[in-house]
Structure 1
C-alpha cells in the first residue's frame, strides 16, 4: 500500500491505535463511542499485524501493516494527536517516526512480556530513550511497572492498573425456564458438572456421594454432550435423565441433561461449577461464563484454550484448581460453605469486571490529553 491509496487525513482529533493482537480492541471502540457521545470529534487509524474482518466502530480507518513500511511517511500523512500502543512488543521505528510531531504516546497493557520482547539492539543501546518517549504508561502489574522504571520510563508517567481486555458478555439466561427449574428445586443446594469427559464421571459421582453426607438434599446437575449413560449404572444413587423425560423429584440426587444450549440457566442455578474436560484433556467451558453468573469454579490443570483467563482467576485466588480427581470431593465440600463460596465468586467477579475500571481510567486519560491538545 502506498500513500496514494490512503484517504485524506480527516479534520478533528486523530488517534493512531496500534493493536497487534486485537486484545482490548472492542473496549477501545466503546471508549471512542463514549467520547463521541460527549461531543468529541475523533478518528482512529487502526494498524495491526492482522486487521479484523470489519472496523469495530465507524470512526475507525483500518490500515494494513504494509502501510507502515515507511513509518515516517505514514506519520507525516496522518499526523496523529495521540498514539495508543495496545500490547505487543515495541517497534522502535514506529515510535521514533513520531519525534518531529507533538504526538502524545500511551503504552497500554504494558506487560513484562511485551517490554522484554522489544528488539535486543534497542535494549542494549537506547532502551532508556525509547521508553522515555511515552507520556502515559499503563502497566498490567507491579513487576511490569518496576521494569518500566528500570528501563527509563519516568515514574510519574506509570500507573499500574491491570489488563484492558474486551468485556465478557454474560451468557443469556432464559428467565421463564429458569423459574420453572427453580420451582422444581425449591431450596435444595445444587452443584454443577458442566460437560464432563466420560473419564471424569466416576470421580464426580464419588464427590457428590461424599458431599451429600454433609449437605442434606444436595443435587448434582450434570450437563453433558456425551450421551453414554452407562457410566451411571453402578452409582447407587437416584438419577433422573432429562432425555427420558424424568422429572426432578425430592428423591432425585443427580439430574443428567444434554441441555448445553441452556448453559446460562445451569450456571445461574448452581453456586458451584466443575468445568468438565479440565481433568482429562482441555477445558470445555470458558471460566468467565460461570464467573459472570456468580458460580464458584473448580477445575483441573487442563485450561486450554482459556489459559490466560484461568491464570487471571488463579492470581486473584478466584478459582479452585485441583490436580487429580481424588481432590474433587473435598473441593466441593469446601465450596458448599456459603462464606467461602461467596468470597471466591466475588473475587472472580472482580477479575472479569476489572476491565471496566481500566476502561474508565483510559477514557479519563484520553479526555485529558485531547483537552490539552485543543487548548494548545
Structure 2
C-alpha cells in the first residue's frame, strides 16, 4: 500500500534519520558502554531478531518505558486470553527486565528499533503485525509512515498529551496532523488529553480513562518479603520511591530530623535509575549515616540508617515494608512518578509540587486526602512522623487513596470494548 504524502518537516526528518543510519552502531555501542542497552540483543534496535514470528494473527503492543509497559500488561493478558499472539516492545533496559518478570508466559518481548526507515522496515517485514497498539504518545514519524504504507491499523491506547507537548506540536500543525491522521483510533486518558489530540488533527478520539488505575498492585515474592520483615523487625520504615538527583539529599535530611523522635527509623531510598545506587550511598555516608546498598547486601544490618534499593522490579516489596512513601520526581522538575501502585497497597503517599505527569491522579488523591503534598525535608519528616506513629491517620489516608483509585478504574474494559472491532476484523481476515 502506498503511503500518504508527508509535509516538508517530516520528509526532512525521514531523510536525516536515513542518513544517520550509518552512525547507529557507534551510538548503540556508546549506550552499551553506559549500561543503557543489552549487548546480547543490540541487533533488535536495528530491526534484527533471532526470534521466529509465530503463525496466526499477531498484535503488537508498544510502551516506551517502565510505566507504559506496566500499564499495558493487563491489556496484554486479556488479548492473549482471546487467542492472539502478542509482540511486546519497549525502549529501555529496565522495562525489558520488568517485561521478563511480569508479562504473561508466551509474550514475545523485543526492543523497539530506532526510528530509522531501514530499521523500522526490517522490523515490520519480519513481524507483520495485524494491529499496532501504541501506548500514550509513541508516534514516531518513520514508524507511523511505514505502518501507514502497509495498511496496518494503529490504535493509541492510554493516550496522553501534555499541554507542553501540545504547544510544541502546534508550531508544526501540518506535521502533527499528518502523524495523527495515521492513527485509526485515539483512546485518551482524560478529556483534556482528548481535546488536545482532536485539536492537532486526530480523526477519531474517545476518552476511556487511564489504564494505570486498572493495574494490579505490584507483586512481591513472599519469601523475600518475609526475610526483609524479619531483618527489619519492628523498626518504622520511610520509603523514597523512584527518586531523582536532588531528592535523595532531602530524604537523608528528613531522616536526620526524624531520628530524634524515631531513633530506630530505617529509610529505604529506591532511585528511579538503579545505577545511581553508589551515588546515593555516598550521599548518605557523607551525611554521617550508616548506608548499605541492596545490590551488595540482600538484608539491611540492624544498624543501617539508609538502605539503598538499587535493584529493579522490587518496589512492590518496599511499598509493603513502608508505612509511608515519598514519590520521587516531584520535588525536582521532572513531573512526578506514578502513585497508583503505592495507593493500592495502602502506603501513605507524599509528593512534591511538580506532578504534571500524573496531574489528574494526584489531583483526585489530594482532593480525597489520599495523598499529602510536601515542599521540603521538614514537611516529609512531619507527615512521615504522623503516618508512622498514628495508626488512625495512616489507615484513614490509605483508605482514602484506595477509594480514589477505585473510583477512577474501568479504563481496561473500555479500552477492550473500543478495540473489539479491530480484533473481529483480524479474525475475519484470517478465515
TM-score normalised by length of structure 2: 0.53
The alpha carbon displacement at 1:107 in A equals 0.9
CA contact (8 A) 2:116 2:142 kept: no
Match of 2:266 in 1: 223
Equivalents in 1 of 2:121, 2:327: separation in Å?
Answer: 50
Equivalents in 2 of 1:77, 1:58: separation in Å?
Answer: 18
Residue from 206, 228, 248 that aligns with 1:158: 206
CA contact (8 A) 1:90 1:115 kept: no
Residue from 166, 180, 183 that aligns with 1:131: 180
Residue from 424, 428, 431 that aligns with 1:371: 424
What secondary structure sits across from 1:65 in the alignment?
A: coil
The within-5 A match list for 1:45-84 is 46=89, 48=91, 52=96, 56=103, 57-60=105-108, 62=110, 64-65=113-114, 68-69=117-118, 71=120, 74-75=123-124, 78-84=127-133
Match of 1:145 in 2: 194
Match of 2:68 in 1: 24
Match of 1:345 in 2: 398
1:103-157 CA distance string (max 9 Å, x none): 32111232224993899699332433432332322223332211011112245x3
The alpha carbon displacement at 1:192 in A equals 5.3
What secondary structure sits across from 1:69 in the alignment?
A: helix
Residues 322 and 359 of structure 1: is their aligned pair in 2 closer, same or farther, counting only changes over 3 Å? Answer: same
1:18-70 CA distance string (max 9 Å, x none): 433353325545533443344x1424263647683686553426364378526
Residue from 62, 71, 79 that aligns with 1:35: 79
Aligned length: 329
Which has the larger helix fraction? 2
> Can you give the 5+ residue segments of structure 2 that lack an aligned partner in the other structure?
1-42, 241-249, 268-280, 290-300, 309-314, 332-336
Whether 2:346 is the aligned partner of 1:294: answer yes
Match of 1:213 in 2: none
Residues 6 and 66 of structure 1: is their aligned pair in 2 closer, same or farther, counting only changes over 3 Å? Answer: farther
Residues 264 and 34 of structure 1: is their aligned pair in 2 closer, same or farther, counting only changes over 3 Å? Answer: closer
Whether 2:371 is the aligned partner of 1:319: answer yes
Equivalents in 2 of 1:344, 1:21: separation in Å?
Answer: 30
Residues 119 and 16 of structure 1: is their aligned pair in 2 closer, same or farther, counting only changes over 3 Å? Answer: farther
Equivalents in 1 of 2:171, 2:48: separation in Å?
Answer: 32
Structure 1 stretch 53-62 or stretch 136-145: which is displaced more? Answer: 53-62
The alpha carbon displacement at 1:83 in A equals 0.9
CA contact (8 A) 1:17 1:45 kept: yes
Equivalents in 2 of 1:91, 1:326: separation in Å?
Answer: 43
The alpha carbon displacement at 1:325 in A equals 5.1
